[in-house]
Amino acid sequence: MEPNGALAVSILSEIAALPKILLLEDEPFILMELEFSAGDAGLTSFSVSNVAAALAILRRENIDVAILDVNLGGGATCLPVARELTGRSIPYLLHTAQPHCLGDDLQALSAPIISKPAAGSTVVSAALELMH
């Protein structure tokens, strides 16, 4: 049997090796469903509800893929995060209840779009496909 410290290091190494997904969503229940689905898919999720927090995650983590809610309340959109992901060649998809109301800037990104409502597992599976 491994000493507790060695077991902890082993577990942390396994977690660090899991693909990392950024979840940007301002609706708590949708975010929770996406988190559960990401965990079920073997992903380490970084969940945030605003642009500033998402950009902070991108500064400190090596994210592999992202799911971005388009409209974040108060007139904010995911556009700054989408641009950062694009600049880093990190795949992402847009998750929105209003797919036909995207502004020109978001449409120009040509990101895949998943309309709400959609099962968390469906959205996460679509994001995983972008990684391959």
The Cα 114–Cα 11 span in angstroms is 33
Provide the whole-model pTM.
Answer: 0.85
- Mean pLDDT across the chain, nearest whole number? 86
Reported confidence tier of residue 22, pLDDT bands at 50, 70, 90: very high
Cβ-contact 77, 106 below 8 angstroms? yes
State the number of CA atoms in the 13 A half-sphere of 127 facing the CB: 33
Cα separation of 81 and 6, whole Å? 37
The tens digit of pLDDT for each residue in 29-41 reads: 999 999 999 999 9
Q: Which of 5-14, 44-53, 114-123 shows the lowest per-residue confidence on average (mean pLDDT)?
A: 5-14
Q: CA distances (Å), 29 to each of 46, 69, 116, in order?
A: 15, 13, 13
pLDDT at 108 over 90: no
Residue 13, pLDDT score: 46
